[in-house]
Structure formats: structure tokens, C-alpha cells
């Protein structure tokens, strides 16, 4: 019974936090916005999200590709070389976020270090039953 009450209290507290404006949340929680971006205008009916953990060993790069949907990525560890077609290559570090718009061509990604891997958490949004990545 005690566990059940604790579970319900924690769930209720979570709902309250979701409903609050971020500026009103208690500082004790350690909540901060690290990235915010307007998303494309589309219906997500019939879509799903695939969450991937990617590890790029030193010296390894991904092939040129695109995602029919959109991708949000978070650098968990290390530094990532990252370039989309039409943009300059950049190096993202632990705690930084990247966004790939639907259909944008991803030219390169890989560890920026010759000694350490880069570990990424990627959320790939796309239509159910369709591939989330296409080589180009």
C-alpha cells in the first residue's frame, strides 16, 4: 500500500511539472532547456519514433545518407564531426544537440577524435513501416 501511494505521488508530481511553465519549475529539480527548435509542419498520424544509440569508433564515419523523416540527436560522449549538405562541417561535444530536417542529406558524421569514440542518442521520426535511413 505504501509503495502504491509513493508511485501515485510521484506520478502526480510529474504531471504537475509537465503542466508548469519551465520558468516556474523549482530550481531544485535541475531542469534546464538545452535545445529548442521549431519542427516542420506535418501530421504525426501514422508515424513512430525510433531511438538509437550510435557509437562511432575513432576514424570511422557514416556514409552519405538521408532520413525521410526528421532526426534529433544528443551527444552522450565525445565529439562528433557533423555536416549536412549546404552547411559547414561542425564539431559537436558532449551535451550538444543536432537536428536533421526531413530529407536533408547528411554528408558526414564520425568521431572527431583519433583516440576516443563518439556516442550519440538519436531519435529518428518517420512513417510506420518505412525505412528511417536511405543511402544516397
* Overall fold of domain 34-135: Jelly Rolls (2.60.120)
**Backbone torsions φ then ψ of 55, nearest 5 degrees:** -120, 120
CA distance 131 to 127: 8
Q: How far apart are the first and last CA of the chain?
A: 57
Residue 56 has pLDDT above 70, yes or no: yes
Which grid coordinates are listed for 96?
Answer: 550538444
**Residue 2's pLDDT is what?**
53
Average per-residue pLDDT in the chain? Answer: 85
Q: What is the mean pLDDT of residues 43-70?
A: 94
Distant-in-sequence, close-in-space partners of 47: CB < 8 Å, separation ≥ 6: 69, 125, 126, 127, 128
- Reported confidence tier of residue 47, pLDDT bands at 50, 70, 90: very high
Amino acid at each position: 500500500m505504501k509503495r502504491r501511494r509513493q508511485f501515485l505521488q510521484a506520478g502526480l508530481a510529474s504531471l504537475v511539472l509537465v503542466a508548469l511553465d519551465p520558468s516556474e519549475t523549482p530550481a531544485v529539480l535541475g531542469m534546464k532547456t538545452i535545445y529548442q527548435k521549431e519542427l516542420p509542419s506535418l501530421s504525426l498520424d501514422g508515424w513512430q519514433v525510433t531511438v538509437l544509440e550510435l557509437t562511432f569508433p575513432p576514424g570511422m564515419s557514416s556514409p552519405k545518407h538521408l532520413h525521410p523523416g526528421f532526426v534529433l540527436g544528443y551527444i552522450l560522449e565525445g565529439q562528433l564531426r557533423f555536416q549536412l549538405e549546404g552547411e559547414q562541417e561542425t564539431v559537436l561535444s558532449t551535451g550538444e544537440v543536432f537536428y536533421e530536417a526531413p530529407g536533408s542529406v547528411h554528408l558526414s558524421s564520425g568521431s572527431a577524435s583519433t583516440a576516443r569514440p563518439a556516442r550519440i542518442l538519436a531519435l529518428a521520426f518517420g512513417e510506420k513501416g518505412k525505412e528511417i535511413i536511405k543511402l544516397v
